[in-house]
Amino acid sequence: MARGRSNKRKQPAQNDDASASNPSIGQALKKQKRDQDREEGALPHKRPVAPELMDWSVHYPAFVDESVEAVGTAENEQRTDDLQEGGESKLPRMKKQVEIADIGCGFGGLLFALAPRMPDKLILGMEIRVSVTEFVKNKIWALRSQQASLSNTSTIQPPHISTSESTDNPAASDGATNPPDPTTAPTAPAADESGIPSTESTASKDPVPGSYNNISVLRTNAMKFLPNFIQKAQLSAIYLCFPDPHFKARKHKARIVSAALLSEYAYVLRPGGLVYIITDVEDLFEWMRSHFAESELFARVDVKGEQDIARETKGRDVKQAGGEDVDEREVEEKRDGGTLNDEEQIGWDIMHHETEESKKVTRFSGKKFAAVWRRREDPAWPDESEH
């Protein structure tokens, strides 16, 4: 008898057992969950085509210059795609510009710690994940509302800030989110014994300097669109705190430090500006250190206590391996970027203690690898008379 095709059909696997029966399905589901926010990022985003078209008043309403009337220029009208026919792009004038950027700010630990220590500087967190950006934004408005109630003053109501990137027409924004109830807002940070403000919940009856009006968060991919928001030589500091290590070699191009990105960081940093980096992955730190060392745009800064930490870490590793004493040449490195002043040192100290990842590494007795680089002065143009 000829062997025929069976009429029985295979029953489809149950959804609950799909990942267990087929590893590829499990990996796909894991990737889909991990990249859920990034999948939303595949949708068309609206962002300013130039920093001059960015409306910062929705992020820092307390710093709007009310004495100057917002005006629209013909250049803005030509460069804005979303303007209605015959319309004008009117941008409120700001008293200050964004001066500090935390790229990949996560849940905003660095922002909330820096805010009361630098109340006169506008600090911006840049984050690609939608849900994380929304969390930080809501917490900022909750803290502002709480501070206003503590000082018995009225607070500016939160504007309609979209969770996606800002629109090409700054006057058009959507995706409003009501601020959290101030009664459930986190309490203001209080300084610990070391003088570093803590974001832990503490009982505080006095408003903090700045009342968190100087911080905000922006949903964007800073690796692609940083120059769309920040002008040339605008920033005094950039923080890269515990970035994604991207361990696989084929993903190294997605790391937050590369030759091309260093050029962009140098573009938005003013001469003398700083780039702070910290990670708990030694391989990633060496990757970033080598790229900065090869760049002619940055110089390594001699940070107080940094070499002692490096020597202690290296010595512990050598001792555990049963090797010889530490070779100072492996720890020492040419540092011609000067030293940090008191204000710049504050950023270094807070970076080591106040980010969520930093606290996690400390809790599990992990290692931290950190460094600071200073933007070099631009070389002088050659005198034309010499040619």
CA of residue 364 relative to chain centroid, distance: 24
Paired strand residues for 300: 373
The DSSP call for residue 274 is E
* Angle, vertex CA 107, rays to CA 101 and CA 109, nearest 5: 70
Looking at 35, 81, 244, 283, which residue is catalytic?
A: 244
Using CA atoms, how far apart are residues 205 and 202, in angstroms rounded to an integer? 10
Check: CB of residue 169 under 8 Å from CB of residue 82: yes
Sheet holding 215-219, edge to edge: 215-219, 122-127, 98-103, 235-241, 269-279, 369-375, 298-300
Using CA atoms, how far apart are residues 329 and 279, in angstroms rounded to an integer? 22
The answer to whether 349 is a known catalytic residue is no
| Among candidate residues 82, 221, 219, 105, the one with its CA nearest the CA of residue 162 | 219
CA of residue 286 relative to chain centroid, distance: 21
The DSSP call for residue 7 is -
Using CA atoms, how far apart are residues 192 and 207, in angstroms rounded to an integer? 16
Enumerate the active-site residues. 244
